[in-house]
A and B are shown apart, each in its own frame.
Chain A
Amino acid sequence: MSYIFYISAAVAVVATLLVVTRTHAVHALLYLVASLLAVAMVFVTLGAPLVAALEVIVYAGAVIVLFVFIIMMLNLGKHAVEGERRWLAPSAWAGPTILCLILLAELFYVVACGGGAEVTQAAEVGPKEVGQALFGPYVLGVELAGMLLLAGLVGAYHLGRREALGEAAEEGPQ
């Protein structure tokens, strides 16, 4: 099983690298789907099947569909890709990338120092255990997540209205 983990991890890293370097938004989105599916495969090899299924359904399904809708509504043409290429000059991305690589090297160093010989025994933690934990000790967190999602729904609805509609609604009562 371990080589499946390494193959999917490599696919995830390569696909994510392509996401942040593409100039066309739809291409980046397709690579993002590939990256999320590879991460779902990593979850399967780590013995977390429920989370892998949710990764496919919620991230690769719902979130990506939202992004596709927005890109369709924005309807960016050829000039957007050219503008994106202009924004992606090496002088613009070199500095942040070097700083991020330094952070990554530090992270690798800390992880390599701290762990030692501890290994992940790929013992599966199934949906039953997760559900019992979720609705046992973490039930307050579940309710808070529900309220957060409701607030997100209301906020997205409020922000998503057209300008003209918003002004008409504000002027109505006066």
Chain B
Amino acid sequence: MTAIPMEHGLALAGTLFVLGLAGVLARRNIVFILMSIEIMLNAAGVAFVVAGARWAAADGQVMFFFILATAAAEVAVGLALVLQLYHRFHTVDADAASKMRG
């Protein structure tokens, strides 16, 4: 088994996170925004697993489990919201729901 510098693993996590962040900021389609949020959560998980592997401890993988559970709950609620948005406004443009109306 050869060694991989920890910085390279963290750089991978950071690159994936920034790509997801750019997706959230630049896209207007709400489905793409949700996909980018998944990318960001996954990148945070990569950082935890890299740190866990650095110290050969199980805690990093345990934190990845919790991130996985959070991501699953988030994507279920988020996609239900996408369906509601589409039924109400007949578009997937996130700006369509920019006004509050009680």
Chain A interfacial positions (CB closer than 8 Å to B): 1-2, 5-6, 9, 12-13, 16-17, 19-20, 25, 28-29, 32, 35-36, 39, 42-43, 45-48, 50-51, 54-55, 58-59, 62-63, 66-67, 69-71, 73-74, 76, 80, 84, 87-88, 92-93, 96-97, 99-101, 103-104, 107-108, 111-112, 115, 118-123, 125, 129-130, 132-134, 138, 141-142, 145-146, 148-149, 151-153, 155-160, 162-163
Contacts and interface: CB of A to CB of B under 8 A. Distances in A.
Interface string B6-33: 1111111011101111110111110110
**Chain B contact residues: helix, strand, loop or mixed:** helix
A1 B50 contact: no
A43 B65 CA distance: 13
Given A119-B4, A121-B1, A125-B56, A20 B76 contact: no
10 contacts: A6-B8, A9-B12, A19-B19, A59-B42, A93-B22, A97-B26, A104-B14, A133-B62, A151-B73, A160-B83
Contact of B87 (A58, A84, A162): A162
Nearest to B78: A156
A25 B86 CA distance: 15
A20 B23 contact: yes
B96 interface: no
Interface in B37-96: 38-39, 42, 45-46, 49-50, 52-54, 56-62, 64-66, 68-77, 79-84, 86-88, 92-93
A80 B72 CA distance: 27
B2 interface: yes
Contacts of A145: 65-66, 69-70
Contacts of A138: 62
A32 B84 CA distance: 24
B22 A97 contact: yes
Contact of B29 (A25, A50, A134): A25
Contacts of A162: 87
B42 A129 contact: no
Contacts, number: 245
B97 interface: no
Interface of B: 1-12, 14-16, 18-23, 25-29, 31-32, 34-36, 38-39, 42, 45-46, 49-50, 52-54, 56-62, 64-66, 68-77, 79-84, 86-88, 92-93
Nearest to B14: A107
A13 B83 contact: no
B12 A42 contact: yes
